[in-house]
Amino acid sequence: MNTVNRIANILRASAALLVTAVGILFSADDDESEDRPLGDGSDRFGEHNFRTGRMDSGADPDGWYEEDL
């Protein structure tokens, strides 16, 4: 009977650990509204503007680009 109680306690603890781990994994807030949009305002293409630290079209009159270095 003592062995059965130990196994039951181990199963309960394992289930509680699993439920806690799954809860932590799925509780992360992923707010997609903070993601930068792809397109004209995106920093994923263009020339690197050293003044702003972003990629842009290379037409910023106050920007510092690779050819300015």
Model confidence over 3-47: pLDDT tens digits? 999 999 999 999 999 999 999 888 876 666 665 555 555 556 788
Does residue 36 contact residue 43 with C-beta atoms inside 8 Å? yes
For 55, phi and psi rounded to 5 degrees?
A: -90, 140
pTM over 0.75: no
Domain boundaries, the chain: 1-29, 39-69
pLDDT of residue 33: 60
In terms of Cβ atoms closer than 10 Å to its own Cβ (0-12, 13-18, 19+), residue 49 is: buried
